[in-house]
Amino acid sequence: MVSVGTIIWLASELMFFAALFAAYFTIRSVSPELWAQNTVLLDVPFAAVNTTILVLSSLTCQLGVFAAERGQVGRSGSVFQIKGWGLREWFILTFVMGAIFIGGQAVEYATLVQEGMTIQDSAYGSMFYLTTGFHGIHVTGGLIAFLLVLGRTYLARKFTHEQAVSAIVVSYYWHFVDVVWIGLFATIYLVQ
């Protein structure tokens, strides 16, 4: 039931992001000169590295899910033996990568504000900050979910099927957030 409910909720989130994409493309079609002026301010290589970190975090998240499905909550052996990592190690790495992504977004925002692109500056600035900002809020929600799952694994005496399902559901959300970012990255940074 939890998995089905999560998938239905993610479908509603998909509609939310579809509306943001629609607004982005509508405003872009009405005032293309704003896009020509403002897209030159974007640091595409920096955003590409940040995107790569987020996309790779989906891989580490999924490796954590595989460990949870095996019932392996913690590592077997040294922390340097990656093959022996469990759910905790993979989810901690995923959390760190997601936090790096958010930090990268904050650096990018600070740079763009210094260059004069703000949310109230133009329709382009409004759409850029709304789309990337709402995505950033969703990534932050995913980071909180990772902390909750990790906290449960440390507090529980025994790793249960319910905890594995929680890890799987969080992975659904994380993969969704990553796929949405790939669409945003392609739309905002590559389609100029």
Ordered by start, the domain boundaries in the chain are 2-190
**pLDDT value for 162:** 82
**pLDDT value for 46:** 97
pTM over 0.75: yes
CATH number of 2-190: 1.20.120.80
Could you report the per-residue pLDDT of 93-124, keeping only the tens digit for each? 999 999 999 999 999 999 999 999 999 988 88
Distance of alpha carbon 146 from alpha carbon 116, whole angstroms: 35
**pLDDT value for 156:** 80
CA atoms lying within 13 Å on the CB side of residue 136: 18
The percent of residues in the chain predicted with pLDDT above 70, rounded, is 99
Task: For tokens 């460990």, name the residue.
Answer: 67
